[in-house]
Amino acid sequence: MDPTIVFIFILVFFVSVLVTRKPKNLPPGYFGIPYIGSLSLMRKLIRGKRPHLVLFEESKRIGNIFRWYLGNQLVVVLSGYDTIHEALVQKAEVFSDRPELNRNPIIPSTDGEHAKHRLRKIRTMLARITAIPALRDFGVGKASIEEKIQVEIETATTFLQDKNGKPITMNDLMQKVVANIIFGIIFGRRFTFNEPELDKTRAFTNAFVSGAGPISLSFFLPKVLVRIIYRKDAENNDVRRQSIADLRKYVYEQLDEHEATFDRHNIRDFVDMYIQMKKEGDESIRKFITKGNVFRAILDLFLAGSETTSTTLDWAFLFMTEYTEVQKKCQEEIETVLGNKLIEYSDRKRLVYVNAVIMEIQRCSNLLSLIICCKFSCSLKKKKIFVTYVSCIPAPLNVVHYTSGNTTLGGYNIPARTLIVPTLYSVYMDTKYFPNPEKFDPDRFIDYKGSLIKNEALMPFSTGPRTCLGEPLARMELFLVFANLLQRFSFSREDPSKPHTMESKQSQITNAPVPYTLRATKKQ
């Protein structure tokens, strides 16, 4: 071999090592080969086992804070409630950025003080618009959000009655219910369950959450290599992009229609609120109200308002078929406290056990198998600024974070621009906060006086400043749909002798259950 080539190779290698050399006192963990990463851990992650299980096992072996590398990117994994709380709450200022991963349509960034200033402005604007009090009067006839939810519950009730105990797939039904709710909030209209337009929106969200999560190596490799090594991931990204393009076209048509019929004295929905802010809002906000940014905000709401809640409800009814004694106890509480009365959101404090069951479902649906973040972006000169909101999908990994500066955690140095992966799975397996964590036990959230226990470690909507803006809506939907349908129906396995698997899908980044069927029998 030519000595010059050997010399150049050695020189490049040592320069790479110098460029990527580790700062002192990093968390323990894996060594990274320049440009490649931590091969030994990466092999474990691609062998088919869910990433959160691999990382949890590693945390038990190495510690609650450990490092590894994706290419040259330093990744620090956080496990256990105390560690994650310290990072995301106590040191939120430095742990709350988002990375911009290569070609990833899900994970955005917020680098730089200039970007952060505008991020805060846009986040404040969206917080005002998406707050439940601001949305309560949306819809034809000024129907409140709760009234919209009740309409969908009645439609679902009719659907289940018509099935008359025949096997059904709850996931399809729940997707239609919650998609109609969010569609009414955004556009002020609803669809019948058999309208193709409703199926289009469902297909969009299903396509968006399929494929690899944000700790996949496919987000760090050139496109050419991804299409060779991770062809399925490349195909999923193509589907996502096409889904976004199709939805963008539809939303733009709706925006044009709303612009033409806008009446400042009759604010009908989310789009009208944007138009009103564009016409009458503060100058510091109005410059961000572009057609593209309205679409991106709507994209957030579609994902956070449909896929999230429907997935949790899908788990909820699966749990009821497998834990019939819990279902019966819920129904007995509803009957004793409320009888046949329509269950309203104001009744939630009276149904202690029902609330405890919902909380335990949120905890366990994370155990059985990432919270997705959605992006709202705007172009400022030639720079793109992204604002990220965590959606409320059951997920054993939290959405990835990014350190904005050098910091410390648990006695270790954490450099700026480190990819942070909090594992919610480890929180819900933390015996300090959840004794006997593998057991499905709603009573863990009820004290000896019969009151609901607020466990700080239960954080299905994440924690810190990046918590889900759609949390109030999600809580309302979960309680009303779950409680009202349990009041009216009993849910059982399609075949009583065949238990359902409690595993989650392997083919998507969210933690949805493996498809199942059940029977819904009308209660007498």
For 424-479, write each residue's pLDDT tens digit.
Answer: 889 999 999 999 999 999 999 999 999 999 999 998 776 765 555 567 788 899 99
Q: Do 66 and 59 touch, CB atoms closer than 8 A?
A: yes
87 pLDDT band, cuts 50/70/90, is very high
**Residue 436 to residue 215: CA distance in whole angstroms:** 29
Q: In this predicted structure, which of 5-19, 59-73, 139-153 has the lowest mean pLDDT?
A: 5-19
**Residue 80 to residue 430: CA distance in whole angstroms:** 6
Is pLDDT of 14 > 50? yes
Which one is predicted more confidently, 278 or 160? 160
**For residue 373, what pLDDT is reported?**
32
Q: Which of 114-128, 302-316, 323-337, 494-508 has the highest mean pLDDT?
A: 323-337
User: What average pLDDT score do residues 73-86 get?
Assistant: 94
**Residue 515 to residue 174: CA distance in whole angstroms:** 13
Is pLDDT of 59 > 90? yes
Q: In this predicted structure, which of 166-180, 189-203, 208-222 has the lowest mean pLDDT?
A: 208-222
pTM of the model: 0.79
Q: In this predicted structure, which of 136-150, 178-192, 215-229 has the lowest mean pLDDT?
A: 215-229
User: What average pLDDT score do residues 332-336 get?
Assistant: 97
Torsion of CA 256, 261, 263, 267, to 10 degrees: -70
Share of the chain above pLDDT 90, in %: 39
**Residue 44 to residue 51: CA distance in whole angstroms:** 9
Q: In this predicted structure, which of 143-157, 198-212, 506-520 has the lowest mean pLDDT?
A: 198-212
Range 50-53 contact pairs with CB under 8 angstroms and sequence separation of 24 or more: 50/369, 50/396, 50/504, 50/506, 51/213, 51/215, 51/397, 52/369, 52/396, 52/397, 52/423, 52/424, 52/425, 53/396, 53/425
Q: What's the Cα-to-Cα distance from 166 to each of 125, 170, 176, 489, 490, rounded to whole Å?
A: 46, 12, 19, 13, 13
Which one is predicted more confidently, 220 or 188? 188
Q: Which domains does the chain have, with CATH numbers?
A: 1-95+404-429 (no CATH), 96-399+430-522 (1.10.630.10)
**For residue 141, what pLDDT is reported?**
40
**For residue 68, what pLDDT is reported?**
94
Is pLDDT of 107 > 80? no
Q: Do 385 and 361 touch, CB atoms closer than 8 A?
A: no
Q: Is 513 helix (H, G, I), strand (E, B) or coil?
A: strand
User: What average pLDDT score do residues 174-192 get?
Assistant: 88
**For residue 187, what pLDDT is reported?**
87
Which one is predicted more confidently, 447 or 226? 447
**For residue 49, what pLDDT is reported?**
66
Strands 383-390 and 373-380: antiparallel
**Residue 104 to residue 373: CA distance in whole angstroms:** 11
Q: Do 153 and 485 touch, CB atoms closer than 8 A?
A: yes
Nearest to 101 by CA among 215, 209, 237, 235: 215
Strands 412-414 and 407-409: antiparallel
Question: Which residues, at least 6 apart from 362, have a Cβ–Cβ distance to it below 8 Å?
Answer: 312, 394, 458, 460
**For residue 212, what pLDDT is reported?**
52
Q: In this predicted structure, which of 320-329, 362-371, 399-408 has the lowest mean pLDDT?
A: 362-371
Is pLDDT of 69 > 90? yes
Nearest to 80 by CA among 428, 465, 466: 428
76 pLDDT band, cuts 50/70/90, is very high
Take residue 160 and report the two structure tokens written for it: 């289940």
Look up tokens 């329509």; give the residue: 342
Q: State the DSSP string of 368-393.
A: -----EEEEEEEETTEEEEEEEE---
User: What average pLDDT score do residues 126-153 get?
Assistant: 63
Average pLDDT value over all residues in the chain: 78
Q: In this predicted structure, which of 95-99, 148-152, 354-358, 364-368 has the lowest mean pLDDT?
A: 364-368
102 pLDDT band, cuts 50/70/90, is very low
Sign of the torsion angle spanned by Cα atoms 342, 346, 351, 353? positive
Q: Do 134 and 127 touch, CB atoms closer than 8 A?
A: no
Take residue 31 and report the two structure tokens written for it: 């060594």
Question: Which residues, at least 6 apart from 290, have a Cβ–Cβ distance to it below 8 Å?
Answer: 378
Share of the chain above pLDDT 70, in %: 70
**For residue 230, what pLDDT is reported?**
62
Q: Is 328 helix (H, G, I), strand (E, B) or coil?
A: helix
